[in-house]
Amino acid sequence: MKNASSLQSFFKSVGKTALLTRDEEIELSKRIEKGDSAARDRMIRANIRLAISIAKKYSDKGCSMEDLVQESSMGLIKAVDRFDYRKGFKFSTYACWWIKQAVRQHIASQSGSIKLPSYAKNTLWKMKKIKEEYEEEFGVPPSPKEVAELLGTSVATLNSLIKCSATFVNLDASAYKNDDGKRTVHETLVDNSIETVDSEIDRERLIDIIRSALSDLTPREEAVLRLRFGISEPDLEMAISKEEK
């Protein structure tokens, strides 16, 4: 609770700082280049809202909000130090890449029981993006081979990355928030091996229909079916004589 309230007060205090105009950004950048630390502070404070908004987008990745805000601020500081106003871009355009990179790297280092190198995490991230974009464009998910080709890697590499990135779930943990642990995760898992009553009834009816259709076959037809399917040798002579009658 203390953390949450301190974070809220931080957000409030940040909101009071005025945003910079394009000219102000350039002016501050020039001063930063000359080593003006006050200008650097001003630039960071004025853009901290951008860092927070990016951090919020990653709040569901299993890291605390405080850590995400801290990491995104580090990314922002890096962007302030490296920003080159001569290229003609707005600072926010440049900074958001550094902020995202810092946050993603932090999440990658925290999540999962197996520590993956950051390039592996990046590949998984790209794979997710490619799958989403492909499905949006073509309406069907891409095959593993297609994803591997688009990423310039092999299917085997992708499969091993997916396996390594699997997260563990505690089956005895509470399934829902605010449920006081009444229902555990394993109680909510669906058992696909069990048929539903409806589909079982449908299956039984279908079998009955096929059985009655089979009984309508002539002995000759049944004999041929049985020979073709390799089901118990029929008494052919009997079948034929029955039909001749």
Q: Which residues bind another protein (CB under 8 A)?
A: 205-207, 209-214, 216-217, 220-232, 236-237, 240
CB closer to another protein out of 162 and 231? 231
Nearer to another protein among residue 126 and residue 226 (C-beta) = 226
Task: Report whether 76 contacts 91 (CB < 8 A).
Answer: no
Task: Report the nearest approach of another protein to the CB of residue 243 (Å).
Answer: 8
Smaller CB distance to another protein: residue 86 or 228? Answer: 228
| Residues in Cβ contact with 241 at an 8 Å cutoff, skipping those fewer than 6 apart | none
For 98, 149, 204, 209, 234, the CA distances from 217, given in Å and listed in that order, are 75, 53, 20, 13, 14
- Three-state SS letters, 104-141: HHHHHHHCCCCCCCHHHHHHHHHHHHHHHHHHHHHCCC
At closest approach, how far in Å is the CB of 150 from another protein?
Answer: 27
Least Cβ distance, residue 143 to another protein (angstroms): 18
In whole angstroms, what is the distance from residue 159 CA to residue 162 CA? Answer: 5
Distance CA 95, CA 77 (A): 9
User: Half-sphere exposure of residue 85, counting CA atoms within 13 Å on the CB side?
Assistant: 14
At 123, the amino acid letter reads T
Nearer to another protein, 128 or 205 (CB): 205
Shortest Cβ distance from residue 155 to another protein (Å)? Answer: 24
- In the complex with another protein, the residue whose CB is nearer, 38 or 240, is 240
User: Identity (one letter) of the amino acid at 130?
Assistant: I
Least spacing, CB of residue 196 vs another protein, in Å: 17
CB of 221 to another protein, least distance (A): 4
Q: Which two tokens stand for residue 7?
A: 């974070």
Which residue's structure tokens are 């009655």? 212
112 versus 219: smaller Cβ distance to another protein: 219
DSSP 8-state assignment for residue 174: B
